[in-house]
Copies of this chain bind each other. A is one copy, B any other.
Amino acid sequence: MPKYHPIEQPIAFKTSHSVGGARERLEVPLPDSYFRAFEKVDRDPNLQLVVAVGGEGAVVGCLQLCVLPGLSSQGASRALIEDVRVASHCRSRGIGEQLVQWAVAEARGKGCKLVELLTHQTRVDAQRFYERLGFARSHVGMTVRF
Bound Cα distance from A33 to B75, whole angstroms:
6
A37 CB contact (under 8 Å) in B14, B71, B121, B143: B71
Cβ–Cβ < 8 Å partners of A75 in chain B: 31, 33-38
Contact check, B114 vs A146: say whether CB atoms are below 8 A apart: yes
- Given contacts A46-B44, A69-B40, A69-B41, is CB(A24)–CB(B74) below 8 Å? yes
* Contacts A/B (CB < 8 Å), 20 sampled: A18-B72, A31-B75, A33-B74, A37-B75, A38-B71, A38-B75, A47-B68, A64-B71, A68-B80, A68-B82, A78-B82, A80-B80, A112-B146, A117-B142, A119-B140, A120-B138, A138-B141, A139-B142, A140-B140, A141-B141
The 6 tightest CB contacts between A and B, nearest first, are A139-B141, A37-B75, A40-B69, A118-B139, A141-B141, A135-B142
8 additional A-B pairs beyond A40-B69, A120-B138, beta carbons within 8 Å, are: A18-B72, A24-B74, A37-B75, A44-B46, A114-B144, A118-B140, A135-B144, A139-B140
